[in-house]
Chain A
Amino acid sequence: QSVLTQPPSVSAAPGQRVTISCSGSSSNIGNSYVTWYQQLPGTAPKLLMFENNKRPSEIPDRFSGSKSGTSATLGITGLQTGDEADYYCGAWDSSLSAWVFGGGTKLTVL
């Protein structure tokens, strides 16, 4: 059971938009920044979004992030087949003194 809650899967057609939610509590998302990772099959997680809504320079602006209260959302527009991956949210939990992650969301581009 993960501390952060994500939907197990989402799907959408190429070119469409999809959002992935991440729900936590006051000790983690509510009190910390949210980070998002993309994990392509057989590879290590890759930083996608940090400090809620900042993109590393190599990440296209099709990806966006937001946070409100104890929840966060990752948005992806103009879906491409190469976006098919597992997406994880993460945050520091001040009560646990630990990094906590969501269970991951599998994105399928139909």
Chain B
Amino acid sequence: KAGVTQTPRYLIKTRGQQVTLSCSPISGHRSVSWYQQTPGQGLQFLFEYFSETQRNKGNFPGRFSGRQFSNSRSEMNVSTLELGDSALYLCASSPNALTGGRPGEQYFGPGTRLTVT
């Protein structure tokens, strides 16, 4: 099976702009989670989608949003970008119990490196 893919891999934006990142999960995985990774804060959970519904949400401002499509592909959007939004954004998909998945077993993509100038 193909792994989790994320596009684009690198992105440079200026403050105040908005950005949309895309994630394609592993085939058959219906749960997609997003994380932000920075040297200072580490890996932080943004949100999780399952069957097109946001099921879990982290402690990020409303500028961060996401959605999931019927084919389980997901996008996240960051509006009014700030310098502090520069980070590696990771997407992960998860199998469920019926398909032999283990709790907390997530498959991560390579990430999108966002730089805000």
Chain B binds chain A? no
